[in-house]
C-alpha cells in the first residue's frame, strides 16, 4: 500500500486490515508511517510492516518491492495510492513541475505493477492491483494539467494491464474518488468559493471522506470481486452522473 501514512491510503489500509489482511505501508515519512501502523494494528489486530521510501526515486522501486516480499512473506494485493499535484496555469507549466507529478502518479504505479506481475508469475499465484485514479479522469478543470494528465493516463494503464495480465490471473482496477477531505485538498477546502462549488456539484451534498473508498477497495481485493478487472469505480457522491 503506497501513500499509506495518511488520507486515502491509510483509510484503505485500515479497511483491508479490518477484513483480515496483513498490510505493508509505504510512504516518505517514517514518523507518520509509525503512527499509522500503530493505529491500524491496535484497531484491527493484524500485522503491519512499514517501509519508509521516496517513491519519486523510480530506480529504487523494484528493489523496494523485493524487500517488502521478503519481509512480509509475499504480496497478494497492491494498492497504488501515493500521489501529488501541482497547481498553476498550464501555459506556465514547466517540465520541472510536470515531470515529478507524472513520475509519482503514473510511472511509480507502472513499476510497482510490473514488479507485482513478475512476482505473481514466479510464484504461480493470483494478484490484485488497485490504482487510485480521480474524478478528473472523467472531466478536467483548469490549473492542474499535470495531475489530470497523470490520472487519465493511469486509467489507460489500468485497462491495458487488466487485458494483458488476465492470463496470469492478475486483476487490475481503479478507484476514482471525487473531492475527498485529505491533506492534498486542504487548500481547496479552505477556499469558501471552491467549497460551495464542490457542494453544489455533488448530488450527495458533501465532500467525501477517505473511509468512503474502503468498501470498493475491499470488494476489488476480495474473492467477491474475482470477475472484475479493467474497471474504473467512481466514488464521487454522484458527481460524474450529474449534468
Catalytic residue among 119, 147, 179, 234: 147
Nearest to 131 by CA among 112, 145, 103, 149: 112
In what helix (H) or strand (E) does residue 111 lie, and over which residues does it extend?
Answer: helix 108-123
C-alpha 229/C-alpha 235 separation (Å) is 17
Residue 147 annotated in active site: yes
CB distance 130 to 173 below 8 Å: yes
3 state DSSP class of 62: helix
Query: DSSP readout, 188-204?
Result: HHT-HHHHHHHHHH-TT
Which residues belong to the active site? 147
Amino acid at each position: 500500500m503506497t501513500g499509506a501514512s495518511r488520507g486515502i491510503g491509510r483509510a484503505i489500509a485500515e479497511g483491508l486490515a479490518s477484513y483480515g489482511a496483513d498490510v505493508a505501508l509505504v510512504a516518505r515519512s517514517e514518523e507518520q508511517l509509525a503512527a499509522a501502523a500503530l493505529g491500524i494494528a491496535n484497531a484491527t489486530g493484524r500485522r503491519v510492516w512499514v517501509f519508509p521510501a521516496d517513491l519519486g526515486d523510480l530506480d529504487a522501486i523494484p528493489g523496494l518491492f523485493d524487500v517488502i516480499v521478503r519481509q512480509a512473506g509475499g504480496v497478494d494485493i497492491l494498492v497504488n495510492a501515493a500521489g501529488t499535484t501541482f497547481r498553476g496555469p498550464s501555459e506556465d507549466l514547466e517540465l520541472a513541475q510536470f515531470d515529478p507529478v507524472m513520475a509519482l502518479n503514473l510511472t511509480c504505479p507502472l513499476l510497482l505493477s510490473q514488479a507485482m506481475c513478475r512476482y505473481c508469475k514466479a510464484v504461480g499465484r493470483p494478484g490484485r492491483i488497485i490504482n487510485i485514479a480521480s474524478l478528473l479522469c472523467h472531466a478536467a478543470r483548469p490549473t492542474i494539467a499535470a495531475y489530470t494528465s497523470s490520472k487519465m493516463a493511469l486509467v489507460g494503464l489500468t485497462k491495458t494491464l487488466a487485458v494483458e495480465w488476465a492470463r496470469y490471473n492478475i486483476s487490475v482496477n481503479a478507484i476514482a474518488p471525487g473531492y475527498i477531505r485529505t491533506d492534498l485538498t486542504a487548500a481547496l477546502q479552505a477556499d469558501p468559493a471552491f467549497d460551495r462549488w464542490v457542494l453544489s456539484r455533488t448530488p450527495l451534498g458533501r465532500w467525501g471522506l477517505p473511509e468512503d473508498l474502503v468498501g470498493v477497495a475491499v470488494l476489488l481485493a476480495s474473492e467477491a470481486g474475482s470477475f472484475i478487472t479493467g474497471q474504473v469505480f467512481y466514488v464521487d457522491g454522484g458527481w460524474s452522473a450529474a449534468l
